[in-house]
Structure 1
Amino acid sequence: MSLKTIALAAAAAAVTLVSLPAAAQFAKSEDAIKYRQGSLFVIGQHFGRIGAMVNGKAPFDAKVAQENADLVASLAALPWTAFGPGTDKGAAHKAKPEAWTEQAKFNEHADKFKAEAVKLAAAAKTGNLDNLKAAFGPAASSCKACHDAYRSR
């Protein structure tokens, strides 16, 4: 079984968990914090690999770009339920209080990122670097907008 198959299976299992109520997923707020930090870290790793290609810091490899973009799109749904009520305390994190007090706006940012991640994966499927660059910018902007509004430095 390839690493890609394992990663996609894990992502599919995790996405299934997203549909469960947050309280059922996380016995303690610390678990939610670790979960969202872990899922955001993994998303960042795969997104960064695409960014390196888009910015000329790594050679463009259409297959690698597509694999990473597909993972970003699959994983993009994961972190958000881990921002449920009561998950703002219990362990160190960088989320601002507004992630909980401005839940509707926060969710708009999450939805925007998920949509941009799907567009990024579609662009990667074309195998064309210019298409990937065109989709990467808006996806990166959606990350930055959410971090600017809801992440402490």
Structure 2
Amino acid sequence: MFAVPNPKILLLAALGLALVGCADEADPNSPEGKRQAAFKDFLSHSEPMGGMLRDRLPFDGDAFAAHAQALAASVEAPWAHFPEPGETEQKHAALPEVWTDPAGFAQAIDRYRDAVAELAEVTAQGVETPEQVTEAFSAVQQSCKGCHDNFRR
């Protein structure tokens, strides 16, 4: 015969599962939370631009330029939110090289800043065709990839 579980036990089990599901979420006020929010903002601009250049979205020069300008406006957002090792217990994807190779990390950030600035400059007067922005956007993507390859899990 099947026994009905104690409702209190069911409630505690459900609460425990809910808390386990939240374990990967960074506190939005923590350095990790602020950094994650900044990188998500980067993605909210770079993904539509990439979609337009890969024919997943219709190309819209005005929207592309607006995304490029917004990306440039947020280019500094995440960098101050890399805490020193041991300052946080929250899970993160940063490799130790962020701290053990600060010169290399700074160079990677500078490459990203420069690529985003170039993209913003190319789009500042408007965008008529994908060909106008393909090279500059590719440089932004390569700078992202370079940083991920060397400084992210």
C-alpha RMSD over aligned residues? 1.8
Structure 2 segments unaligned to the other structure (5+ residues):
1-26
CA distance in 2, matches of 1:134, 1:56: 16
CA distance in 2, matches of 1:90, 1:67: 37
Identity of aligned residues (%): 27
- C-alpha change, 1:87 and 1:138, in structure 2 (3 Å) is farther
- C-alpha change, 1:65 and 1:31, in structure 2 (3 Å) is same
* TM-score, scaled to structure 2: 0.75
**Mapping 1:75-114, distance limit 5 Å:** 75-86=74-85, 89-114=88-113
The structure with more helix, counted as a fraction of residues:
1
CA distance in 2, matches of 1:111, 1:88: 25
Aligned pairs, number: 124
Q: Is the 8 A contact 1:46 1:72 kept in 2?
A: yes
* TM-score, scaled to structure 1: 0.75
Residue matched to 1:51: 50
CA distance in 1, matches of 2:90, 2:121: 37
- C-alpha change, 1:84 and 1:107, in structure 2 (3 Å) is farther
Q: Is the 8 A contact 1:32 1:87 kept in 2?
A: no
Q: Is the 8 A contact 1:73 1:118 kept in 2?
A: yes
CA distance in 2, matches of 1:136, 1:31: 31
Structure of greater Rg: 2
CA distance in 1, matches of 2:139, 2:44: 18
Structure 1 segments unaligned to the other structure (5+ residues):
1-27
TM-fit CA distance, 1:103: 0.9
